[in-house]
A and B are shown apart, each in its own frame.
Chain A
Amino acid sequence: MVPLSYYLVLSAILFACGVTGFLIKRNIITIFMSIELMLNGVNLSFVAFAAKWHQLSGHVFVFFVMVVAAAEAAVGLAIIIALFRTRETLNIDQVNLLKL
């Protein structure tokens, strides 16, 4: 028997890794992967709570999160391709036209 809190702690660690990657990474594709990591961490806590309360709605929410992640990946990677075509770089420090 694994306590519920262990799953939640694992989920929190994954989410923290995602946030850290979002902050320290400079490559826009890796930043995007960090966002996927955060979504995965949240999914784990959804499934853990679904198992705890015997509610299948948690699984349904995981599906919706996956759909949103897939849509986000498709649109985001298309934006990255368009960005690379105009700016010839993947480094986010060189994409700073909006910076004051």
Chain B
Amino acid sequence: MLHLILFSVFGLICVAGAVNLLLQTHPINSALSLVVVMGSLAVEYLLLGAEFVAAVQVIVYAGAIMVLFVFVIMLLNAGEEERTPGSRVSWLLGIPGVLALTVIVCWALLRSETGTVGLGGVPQADKAFGGARDLSELLFHQFLLPFEVTSILVLIAIMGAVVLAARPDSEPGRQG
């Protein structure tokens, strides 16, 4: 019962933040509602027993990535969004398509057999499910190669960000 109440409260906060992201016109307001969404998603992860993922969600997503967004908004002095009409195809096909797809998916999920199985956080038998130890054992044995490949990906992303954001007039290899 407590699980259901917590799920409903934080799920509602989550959806409210996501809808607020769409309604706000200033990007900083959208960024702050995205922080709310990510924070309440961390609570949902905790309810599912994923403690380490919840911690990483708060640290990496709500911390690092959103700080990057807010910093860029401040750096570019982004003001109110101009409401230009945009593409007509996206309004005529995109929005009804998204709505129809969401309704169909939700309807199929809510009436399916497997969906009604209850999920109640961590069972008492394996308390460490989702903890740092189990996860790192899996990550450093079975998923070692993908882990190393992602480190190369991050390295390339760092170099790409530096190259892209550098001022065009500053020559590489020259001081200043």
> CB within 8 Å of B: which residues of A?
1-10, 12-14, 16-21, 23-27, 29-30, 32-34, 36-37, 40, 43-44, 47-48, 50-52, 54, 56-57, 59-60, 62-64, 66-75, 77-82, 84-85, 90-91, 93
B84 pairs with A91, CB closer than 8 A? yes
Closest to A6 in B: B7
With contacts A10-B11, A10-B14, A17-B21 taken as known, whether A66 is within 8 angstroms of B130 at the C-beta atoms is: no
CB distance B65 to A40 under 8 Å? no
List, in ascending order, chain A residues with CB within 8 A of B49's CB. Answer: 51
Closest to B50 in A: A47
How many interface contacts (CB-CB < 8 Å) are there between A and B? 235
Contact of B72 among A2, A5, A72, A80 (CB under 8 A): A80
Interface residues of B, dominant DSSP: helix
- Chain B 103-140, CB-CB to A under 8 Å as 1, else 0, gives 00110011010111111110000100110001100110
Contact A37 B78 (CB under 8 A): no
Contacts of B105 in A (CB 8 A): 9, 12
A14 touches B15 (CB 8 A): yes
Q: How distant is the Cα of A68 from the Cα of B151 in the complex, in angstroms?
A: 10
Q: Which residues of B contact A68 (CB under 8 A)?
A: 150, 153
Q: Are B117 and A20 in contact (CB under 8 A)?
A: no
Choose from B19, B34, B60 the contact partner of A66 (Cβ within 8 Å).
B60
